Structure 1
Amino acid sequence: MEVTKPMPSKSKTIFIFDLDGTVTKQETLPLIANSFGLEDEINALTEQTIAGNIPFVESFIQRVAILGKLDVNEVNQLLSNVKLFEGIAEFINTRHEQCVIATGNCCEWVSGLASRLSCECYSSSAIVENNKIVKLKSILKKESIVKRYQAEGYQVVFIGDGNNDMEAMRQADIAIACGLTHYPANSIMSVADYAVFNECSLLRLLHQINHAQQGTSVVLSCAGIGSRLGLAKTKALIEVGGKKLIHFQLEVFEKVEDLRVVVGFQARSVIQAVLDKREDVIFVYNHDYFQTKTGTSFFLGSRHANEFCVAWDGDLVVHPDDVDHCIDFDGEYVGCSDIVSEDAVFIKTDDNKNVIAFALDNGDFEWSGPAKIKRDNIKYLSTNVFNQIEGLLPLPYLKIRAQDIDTYEDYKNAIKFIESWSNEK
């Protein structure tokens, strides 16, 4: 059954950036501590706070108590020279009316740093006497900034990395977990729509959200639990021929710029397996992976993607010589193969080499995937990718050499399939 998921209809977008570790290349409070010989206490508190083991407000009060004895001008000068991610800073400075900074740090310390970014900066504030911080006056609640812009009719995109960003990210229309300086806190991964670990991939995603982009994105769905296979792990992590299946996929997608990996079950393990080989991937979360199927993952992966999206299941093995045809095909298509899987979905075709229907009992070929669909034609539903496509038929078919892995018998056949093309070399 098709399910309609309401999407934001707001026409204007605001990007709210956390500062430390998101725009800056290092956390500022540990930098202050290291520069003034107070690193042991501060670093321990900062690590525990980022991880979510100590509430931000409690930790921040303690850290300010330690660092408040320092001369605010010296601290401000120190932070004025902290290194920024240059591409992100340029994005902010060239779109200053669309961007704001939200930092829990004290404005008395970060005003010089913030002046390098030509956008509004919201921060905490303190009472200063004799050039020392004697008391905190206010601690910024980042979610209040999100709500303020939403009330003004904005679609809010929040980019953050630490536990103190969680409520703001939960409230935001689009939440991006940023792993540029350290792995994002587990708490924000549970509410994130996206996760990125590379400045180029973050910038690519920001541009895609801001304006529709031309070109082709590949959406690799790796969120499922692989229940029919019975190996107690998501299929992206199974080994075929001594190599993780996800690593096979990364090899064949080496030339794909906008590769989106949809994660759900064992998300952290899948993310790490991808990062072991490639950092510029955009990770997309399907948090409802147990209740939904590949059609949902494809929809989520296609949001804010390029004009055309290639739906590629994480358990699909395609002959390397056929991969470029799948990506470069001009327009929309449905991928199919000879009937090789144990529990296949079939396609029925006409004389014009179009797919006219899917079937569960018989057909001309096996629906193997992939499929290339215009982003604007992809709708939210909780079922399968082929259910997405049914309403778009007829569409041309592209016959490829492929093996889907749904059952243990399919798994054994996939091993033989890979061995067969290895022997061709």
Structure 2
Amino acid sequence: MKTLYCFDLDGTITTTEVLPCIASEMGIADEMATLTRITMEGLISFEDSLRLRCLLIGQVPIDRVHSIIAAIPLDPAIANFIRRHPEECFVVTGNLDVWIGPLVSQLGCRTFSSKAQFGEERLKLVHVLNKGRVIADLRGAEAAVRIVAIGDGANDVPMLAAADIGIAFGGVHSPTPAATSAAHYVVHDGNTLCNLLKAL
């Protein structure tokens, strides 16, 4: 049976959260980190949080955002696993397509993300990704597949719960209690994660 692997981006494939890196450009890294934390813990809905974060950092020029994001390091073991299996791996992120392009292009796999557009020098949020819907769509498009999902936060819970195997990942910080509860496994570093993926 074919296996598909769905990876969260921020703090899973990347070795740091993406949006706080952009926020540091505006001197609001601490505020963004706090907002990211309470979002991951499920204290504010992901959609409300994303809209607020877009308002806070949407004024950073897109070229500058791309240069910041392109410099964010990836977990080497996870990135190599994805590059070796580009047809079976997917990035599933609530982050914005207009921001993460330079980052996910390094991986060579298909990406599902929230969508935004720039108009009159303002960032407009168009669509917020539902990660659980991605799993359902992949299952509907591929016959006889097993889906493994990897994530760390409350917004990953629908994906972890809908997958055949959910893995709560704590590479950057401990996975939230909600993610841990929805997962079959809890893993805390990239090498161990990839060894588990190979063994499943």
TM tier relative to shorter chain: over 0.9
The residue that corresponds to 1:101 in the other structure is: 91
Structure 1 unpaired stretches of 5+: 1-10, 210-425
1:298 match: none
Tell me the distance in 2 between the aligned counterparts of 1:66 and 1:42. 8
The match for 1:85 is: 75
**SS of structure 2 residue aligned to 1:92:** helix
Moved more, 31-40 or 67-76: 31-40
Partner of 1:22: 12
Distance 1:203 1:130 in 2: 44
Q: Displacement of 1:131 after TM fit?
A: 4.7
How many angstroms does 1:130 deviate by? Answer: 4.5
1:207 — aligned with what? 198
- Kindly indicate which of the two structures has a greater share of residues assigned to strand: 1
Return the letter of the residue paired with 2:32: I
Provide the C-alpha distance between the structure 2 equivalents of 1:148 and 1:94, rounded to a whole number of angstroms.
23
CA distance in 2, matches of 1:130, 1:28: 25
How far the C-alpha of 1:117 sits from its partner, in A, is 0.7
**C-alpha displacement of 1:95:** 0.5
For structure 2, list consecutive stretches of 5 or more residues without a partner in the other structure.
none
Supply the distance in 2 between the matched residues of 1:77 and 1:131 (Cα, whole angstroms): 18
Deviations, residues 391-425 of structure 1 (Å, cap 9, x unaligned) = xxxxxxxxxxxxxxxxxxxxxxxxxxxxxxxxxxx
> Alpha-carbon deviations, 1:114-155, whole Å to 9, x = none?
11011001111112025541x100011111110112122321
| CA root-mean-square deviation | 1.1
| Counterpart check, 1:147 vs 2:132 | no
Identify the match of residue 58 of structure 2 among 39, 59, 68.
68
Say if 2:171 is the partner of 1:158.
no
Equivalent residues in 2 for 1:252-267, closer than 5 Å: none
Q: What SS is found at the alignment partner of 2:13?
A: coil
Relative to the length of structure 1, the TM-score reads: 0.46
> d(CA) in 1 for partners of 2:179 and 2:136?
18
1:137 aligns with 2:126: yes
Q: Which has the larger radius of gyration?
A: 1
**Counterpart in the other structure of 1:47:** 37
Give the AA of the match of 1:176.
I
Structure 1 segments of 4+ aligned residues over 4 angstroms from their partners? none
**Contact 1:70–1:132 (CA<8 Å) still a contact in 2?**
no
Give the count of matched residue pairs: 198
**Could you list the per-position Cα deviations for residues 167-189 of structure 1 after superposition, in whole angstroms to 9, with x for gaps in the alignment?**
11111100000000001011111
Amino acid at match of 2:192: S
Higher relative contact order (CA 8 A, sep 6+): 2
The answer to whether the aligner puts 1:125 opposite 2:115 as a matched pair is yes
Which residue is equivalent to 1:421? Answer: none
Structure 1: distance between partners of 2:146 and 2:121: 40
Identity, % of aligned positions: 36
Q: Take 2:28 and 2:127, find their aligned partners in 1: how far apart are those partners?
A: 24
Separation (CA, whole Å) in 1 of partners of 2:190 and 2:101: 24
Which residue, 32, 37, 42 being the options, matches 2:22? 32
- Give the AA of the match of 2:182: V
Given that 1:25 and 1:84 are in contact with CA atoms closer than 8 Å, whether structure 2 keeps it comes out as yes
Q: Which amino acid aligns with 2:21?
A: L
CA distance, structure 1, for counterparts of residue 153 and residue 60 of structure 2: 25
For residues 147 and 122 of structure 2, the distance between their equivalents in structure 1, rounded to whole angstroms, comes to 36
> Which letter maps to 1:64?
C
